[in-house]
Structure 1
Amino acid sequence: MSKQTEIEALRSAYRRDLAEGTDRFFEPPRTTCPWCGSGRLTTRLRTTDLLQHKPGAFGLDRCEECGHTFQNPRLNDTGLEFYYRDFYDGLGEQKMSGTFGGRTKMYQGRAQAMVPHDPTPKNWLDVGTGHGHFCEAAREVLPGTAFDGLDFTDGVELAAREGRVERAYRGAFPDLAPDLAARYDVVSMFHYLEHSTDPDRELRAAHETVRPGGHLLIEVPDPESRYARLLGRWWLPWLQPQHLHFIPVANLRTRLTDLGFTVVAEQHAEAHDPVDLLAAVWLALDHAAPREDAPWLPTPPGALQKTLRAALLLAGIPALIAGTLLDRFAVRPFSHRLRVSNAYRIVARRD
């Protein structure tokens, strides 16, 4: 089946989903911070879906008490299903698999973060593993480690079929944790917590799953990055509407300590992914250009729209190249000093 045929087959289903508008995809707005309970909230960002361009408007609020930033109002289960659909699976599966599959060096760097603390873990559970590309790459760094994967999408089952993980667990981590209690030397959560509806529940599940003396490895976007303010809605890690929570590093350290972990490492420059300026240019160009066809559009774009889109993207190539060069060669060596690292990484030992 061609992509265009697949889009047309899905269009009527999306039309039914959107017939009543997008308000039904959201919970009632919160008046208190989900992290600390404070009522001192301010608006941090208002934006739209800049990646899939599905209809809807999304807001991020910041707690003035603890600094936690969160989606408000938050997507409900129906909304999460709608906005995740055809991103990592379905129409988007091939694209995402190619994107994640080409980042071997980054994945190996994540695995290296564990080496000073446990150079020979026997077993490792990667939570939010997607298609298992991290596990496949990490095996080169830790050849004696058995890597298992957990995810709520069918990507984890694909990872098992492809041999990237030894065991595949499909479902919600907190629901599966009791059956995995104290089983793993290492549990990793790479860019997973920001997607979860309840990060604290996920952290408690991790504490249950890591054996005493074992380690939890977390990497999340850094809401305190200067890029978050300078680039505004064009900062890729905002990733609305999928990212629900942005946790300042001090908050996460405190919560881990309260749960019974000892933080043994905190990394910023090492976790930085040098794509901010390139991504900002691309998001702006893609937003300005006529839409590429997708099943949530009421009708396919015409020939003129396709021509205008191609012309605008072609004209933007010099800006995309400039963004890439600045990201990799001008900013990356000084990312931590400039406080623009877009992520941070924590290694914590279960006491």
Structure 2
Amino acid sequence: MPPTPRPDPGPLVPAADPFHEERRDDCPWCGSRWLRTRLRVPERPRPTPGTFVVDECRDCSHAFRNPRPTADAPLLRPHRRPAEEYGGADLAGRLRRLHHRTAARAMLPYPEPESWLDVGTGHGHFPEAAREVHPYTAFDGVDPTPRVEAARAAGRIEEAYQGLLADPEITARLRARYDVVSMVHHLEHTADPRAELRAARTVLRPGGHLLVDVAAPARPFGTLPPGLRWPGRAYDRPRPLHLIPLRNLLAELRSLGYEVVATRICAPFPPRAHRIVARRTELPPAPVAPPPDPQPRSDSA
């Protein structure tokens, strides 16, 4: 019998990149299409293949990864290093604990909080350091990785929630529950920073405070010339997805119903970042449209 002919496979279609989303041609912050490439690093042997590109909006100066990595990208997976490395006795560990205690002391001028939620808590080292400054405060944590459960098991936080704060289930469960919400280098690593800020206002009690530490756009990789290797990371890349200018972030906080009460430059670790303390205020009532004018009644003949 003659051999059965194989079906024609058709034209070859290149497989979709499993580690990156589609490249966008507008700014994720203001929607402007006036973009410029700020940094482009050629492909090298790293966990995530492809060219690393950072674009910047010429209208609002917002810088962002373009294309953005997907949730399956290795750089967005949980850190594989043990938790002890984040609080070790080496220089990096001491600087990290110093930075955490300094951030916690930023809340000392305000009423002592009873409950505190740390967003993007990871292994819970920030609540552990903040408890030295606020010993009578109950600390909870939320993180999209299983590290938050390890933080609860280690006693660094009391309650653990796995996911993003903007997840509707988590936001509804924690509504108006906390006096302080902290985001220490969390916003720049989220896909939608605005959604996290809105969710933080929802879980804050009236008059509660939001503490934000966020990388400044001038650092950490904004000034590197194209092609320069990321310092100290031969097989890695910078992790921030967004670099938000301070004026953009302050304007967004005010539009969401926060009163910005303090801003400062963080030092010595990381090299340059902004620290913001904002108070949750009541939004002004929506304007009520005046009732329509009554139509004059015409008398019938």
TM-score relative to the length of structure 1: 0.67
Indicate how the Cα distance of structure 1 residues 76 and 241 shifts in structure 2: closer, same or farther if over 3 A, else same.
Answer: farther
Matched residue of 2:108: which SS? coil
Q: Distance in 1 between matches of 2:70 and 2:109?
A: 40
Q: Is contact 1:47–1:57 with CA below 8 Å preserved after alignment?
A: yes
Q: Is contact 1:33–1:41 with CA below 8 Å preserved after alignment?
A: yes
| Aligned match for 2:258, one of 243, 257, 261 | 261
Q: Per-residue displacement from partner, 1:146-166 (whole Å, max 9, x unpaired)?
A: 111111111111111111111
Q: Is contact 1:49–1:241 with CA below 8 Å preserved after alignment?
A: no
**Larger Rg: 1 or 2?**
2
Deviation at 1:115, TM superposition (A): 1.0
Partner residue of 1:114? 107
Q: Distance in 2 between matches of 1:54 and 1:136?
A: 32
Indicate how the Cα distance of structure 1 residues 257 and 347 shifts in structure 2: closer, same or farther if over 3 A, else same.
Answer: same
Partner residue of 1:251? 248
Q: Distance in 1 between matches of 2:225 and 2:120?
A: 27
Indicate how the Cα distance of structure 1 residues 170 and 50 shifts in structure 2: closer, same or farther if over 3 A, else same.
Answer: farther
Matched residue of 1:253: which SS? helix
Partner residue of 2:222? 228
Partner residue of 1:325? none
Partner residue of 2:63? 69
Deviation at 1:55, TM superposition (A): 3.1
AA at the equivalent of 1:107: H
Q: Which has the higher contact order (CA 8 A, sep 6+)?
A: 1
AA at the equivalent of 1:76: T
| Aligned match for 1:344, one of 257, 270, 274 | 274
Q: Any unmatched runs of 5+ in structure 2? A: 1-13, 282-301
Q: Per-residue displacement from partner, 1:84-142 (whole Å, max 9, x unpaired)?
A: 33x513xx235743467543222110000111133x11110000001001111111111
Partner residue of 1:165? 157
Q: Give 1:9-48 correspondences, 5 Å limit.
A: 23-47=17-41
Indicate how the Cα distance of structure 1 residues 347 and 259 shifts in structure 2: closer, same or farther if over 3 A, else same.
Answer: same
Q: Any unmatched runs of 5+ in structure 1? A: 1-19, 277-341
TM-score relative to the length of structure 2: 0.78
The size of the alignment, in residue pairs, is: 259
AA at the equivalent of 1:65: D
Q: Is residue 79 of structure 2 the alignment partner of residue 88 of structure 1?
A: yes
Q: Is residue 193 of structure 2 the alignment partner of residue 196 of structure 1?
A: no
More helix, by proportion: 1
Deviation at 1:197, TM superposition (A): 0.5
Question: Which deviates further from its counterpart, 48-57 or 192-201?
Answer: 48-57
Q: Distance in 2 between matches of 1:39 and 1:182?
A: 38
| Aligned match for 1:174, one of 160, 166, 173 | 166
Q: Distance in 1 between matches of 2:127 and 2:45?
A: 26
